[in-house]
Amino acid sequence: MIVQKYKDMLQGKSVIRQLSEFATQRGAEIGYENVFDFSLGNPSVPVPQKFTDIMIDLLQNKNPMELHGYSQSLGIPAVRDKVAASLNKRFGMQYTGNHIFMTTGAAGAIAHAVRCVSEPGDEIITFAPYFPEYGPYVNLTGAVLKVVPADTDNFQINFEAFEEMLTEKVAAVLINTPNNPSGTVYSTETMRRLAAIMTKKQEEFGHDIFLISDEPYREIVFAGVDSPYPSKFYANTLSCYSFSKSLSLPGERIGYVAVNPECTDADLIATMCSQISRGTGHNCPPSIIQLAVAEVLDLTADLSVYETNMNILYKELTELGFECVKPGGTFYILPKALEADAVAFCEKAKKYDLIMVPCNTFGIEGYVRLAYCIDTEKVERSLDALRKFVKNEY
């Protein structure tokens, strides 16, 4: 019979999708260029030309049976080696290709990491504000997502609440730095303290507690911001990466799990992931994309526009009286709404063709997310609408 659980999920339409659909519809009426659509986290800069050139070269010159043939379910060995070498060079790690499991984006990476280290009924802790998809990512495996309330001073970690929630039932802690939706980057101090608490609790409970570090925004960090590599602080770390944002390739579904070589069973985990794949129908990312990405591991799209946009918005929002933590990275900013009800606030903003996302489903009430992965020219034009909105409504 049709499974009711998934049927029921159809009722809960995503707020982001509803807003994005409104923006598209409004765009059809007044021209999309006049809708200040801050709803979606879709990169606004093109992939590096070198990626495109390599794809074309592969298509023109590589034997098609090799190019499009089955790759090992762990990923193409040479690609895994190159990912390991790149991470070692950048972060002083000691990965080998055997610690890398290639995935269909960060979603694929987290799906494997969670299944690797938690059984149904186990708890996985994350920190508000958090990416709402963590709910289904975790809960549909049978594990249970627990959310530590936000530290609204700076969107680092509310350690007091965390220590209380870190009971024996917890199999893993899921972090996202740089963070969607706050734009906050966890500091060295935050990472040290997080690792110290987890280490202490591991000893106390006598079992592993894993750190699952979701890092799709790793490459989008603004000037002067301290952005440590989480795996450096804690041996039991599985780093989940996606090239979606760094290379502007979200549709091509490519990322990886990188297993800290000091982790428990470090040499088994990637291979275990390929066993998990047999149940999830994952079976590794597309070969041509693996091969092309492996040649541009140390490149990014031109990400500078995001910092430019952030500075414009942060200045205007604070001048307009918004409480707002300055983002250290990503392409998101999370001001506090000017009334307690963020949904009502965003509804009013729509009258000014300003599309923002209320963050109740991100585990934080009264805040709104602006995704500023749009042209700077449009961000500048949005300021007038923003001023009118605040002046007329508040």
Under rule CB under 8 A, which residues in 190-219 are in contact with a copy of itself?
Answer: 207-208
Q: Residues 35, 83, 107, 128: which binds a copy of itself (CB under 8 A)?
A: 107
Q: Residues 99, 218, 245, 282: which binds a copy of itself (CB under 8 A)?
A: 282
Residue 44 sits in the site that holds a copy of itself (CB under 8 A): yes
3-state helix, strand, coil in the chain (%, to 5): 45, 15, 40
The residue among 6 and 224 lying less far from a copy of itself, judged by its C-beta, is 6
User: How many binding residues for a copy of itself (CB under 8 A)?
Assistant: 77
CB of 203 to a copy of itself, least distance (A): 14
Residue 381 sits in the site that holds a copy of itself (CB under 8 A): no
Is beta strand 123-127 parallel, antiparallel or unpaired with respect to 144-148? parallel
Q: Residues 28, 30, 67, 344: which binds a copy of itself (CB under 8 A)?
A: 67
Map the footprint of a copy of itself across residues 333-362, applying CB under 8 A: none
The angle subtended at Cα 278 by Cα 273 and Cα 279, nearest 5°, is: 100
- Give me the residues paired with residue 255 across strands: 103, 242
Contact 355, 39 (CB under 8 A): yes
Q: Residues 137, 306, 314, 362: which binds a copy of itself (CB under 8 A)?
A: 137
Question: How far is Cα 262 from Cα 114, in angstroms, rounded to an integer?
Answer: 18
CB of 280 to a copy of itself, least distance (A): 4
Q: Which two tokens stand for residue 133?
A: 């998809």
Binding mask 240-279 for a copy of itself (x = CB under 8 A): ----x---xxxxxxx---------xx--xx-xx--xx-xx
Cβ contacts of residue 355 below 8 Å, gap of 6+?
A: 19, 20, 22, 23, 35, 36, 37, 38, 39, 346, 349
Question: How far is Cα 319 from Cα 312, in angstroms, rounded to an integer?
Answer: 11
CB of 351 to a copy of itself, least distance (A): 28
CB of 388 to a copy of itself, least distance (A): 29
- Give me the residues paired with residue 332 across strands: 371
Residue 118 sits in the site that holds a copy of itself (CB under 8 A): yes
The residue among 208 and 323 lying less far from a copy of itself, judged by its C-beta, is 208
The residue among 115 and 336 lying less far from a copy of itself, judged by its C-beta, is 115
Question: How far is Cα 367 from Cα 155, in angstroms, rounded to an integer?
Answer: 12
Question: How far is Cα 381 from Cα 377, in angstroms, rounded to an integer?
Answer: 6
Residue 280 sits in the site that holds a copy of itself (CB under 8 A): yes
Stretch that binds a copy of itself, among 137-145, 146-154, 218-226, 330-338 (CB under 8 A): 137-145
Map the footprint of a copy of itself across residues 138-197, applying CB under 8 A: 139-141, 171
CB of 225 to a copy of itself, least distance (A): 26
- Helix/strand/coil for 267: helix
The angle subtended at Cα 305 by Cα 256 and Cα 374, nearest 5°, is: 85
Residue 2 sits in the site that holds a copy of itself (CB under 8 A): yes
